[in-house]
Amino acid sequence: QLQLQESGPGLVKPSETLSLTCSVSGGSITSSSYYWGWIRQPPGKGLEWIGIIYYSGSTYYNPSLKSRVTIFIDTSKNQFSLRLSSVTSADTAVYYCVRGIGSISWFDPWGQGTLVTVSS
Amino acid sequence: EIVMTQSPATLSVSPGERATLSCRASQDISSNLAWYQQKPGQAPRLLIYGASTRATGIPARFSGSGSGTDFTLTISSLQSEDFAVYYCQQYNNWPPMYTFGQGTKLEIK
């Protein structure tokens, strides 16, 4: 059974870069059928798609975050990662890593999520 | 950007009764719609994709319908574990630009 697990700092200072990694177990990140992505949820609010990546390295980002987001993949470690630069308090959220079934798709499964707080 | 609007924001239903949740897209998305369930402190769980196909392991009391701009999630006989927040998500764009509804909270009446 495929499982996703987020890891990274829970506290980031304003203007710095948020970095998270998603470790994939129970399946290969190089499968041609899937994309891998990030979604976030501010406390008490709804879901916002951040971006997706294919094992080849192709990426697609939410236009509202595109200037600050990088998603990259490490096939040797079966992991993919998120970097979000110049963070503000508005970036405080639970960050989920997800698998997409193809490039235009729903998301399943989801990681358990990790809370990242932006504060000095 | 395709805007997804869910209604109502909160729905109060008694256990054993039927719940009907709505999701409307700002433009035609064919059947490219998914539904998720989220319980407090947990990640969302996929319930329905393709507007009406239940995900693996999802009970038959959950059903989805609709196409184009109007969609419905129906829970035929509410169980205690069904009280949660439900989100719809569209995946109709190319290049990809996924958007979610704001959620419907299903609470015990």
pLDDT > 70 fraction of chain A, expressed in percent and rounded:
100
pLDDT > 90 fraction of chain B, expressed in percent and rounded:
94
**B95 pLDDT more than 90:** no
Q: What is the pLDDT of residue A46?
A: 97
Q: What is the pLDDT of residue B93?
A: 82
What digits encode the pLDDT tens for the residues B12-50? 999 999 999 999 999 999 999 999 999 999 999 999 999
Interface test with A, best of B35, B98, B105 (most A CBs within 10 A): B98
Q: Rounded to an integer, what distance in angstroms lies between the CA atom of residue A99 and that of residue A73?
A: 13
Q: Is A48 on the interface with B (CB under 8 A)?
A: yes
Q: What is the pLDDT of residue A39?
A: 98
Question: In chain B, which residue's Cα lies nearest the Cα of A41?
Answer: B43
Q: Rounded to an integer, what distance in angstroms lies between the CA atom of residue B42 and that of residue B40?
A: 5
Question: In chain B, which residue's Cα lies nearest the Cα of A63?
Answer: B97
Please list the pLDDT of chain A residue by residue as tens digits (120 residues).
Answer: 999 999 999 999 999 999 999 999 999 999 888 999 999 999 999 999 999 999 889 999 999 999 999 999 999 999 999 999 999 999 999 999 999 987 788 999 999 999 999 999
Q: Which amino acid is at A60?
A: Y
Which residues, at least 6 apart from B100, have a Cβ–Cβ distance to it below 8 Å?
A46, A47, A48, A49, B4, B87, B88, B89
Please give the full DSSP string across chain B, using - where no structure is assigned.
---EEEE-SEEEE-TTS-EEEEEEESS--TT-EEEEEE-TTS--EEEEETTTEEPTT--TTEEEEEETTEEEEEESS--GGG-SEEEEEE---SS---EE---EEEEE-
Q: What is the pLDDT of residue B14?
A: 96
Among the partner-chain residues A48, A103, A109, the one whose CB lies closest to the CB of B96 is A103
Whether A107 sits inside 8 A of B89 (CB atoms) is: yes
Interface test with A, best of B54, B89, B91, B93 (most A CBs within 10 A): B91
Range B80-95 average pLDDT? 94
Could you tell me how many residues make up chain A? 120
Strand runs labelled E in chain A: 3-7, 11-12, 18-25, 34-41, 48-53, 59-61, 69-74, 79-84, 93-101, 107-110, 114-118
Q: Is A107 on the interface with B (CB under 8 A)?
A: yes
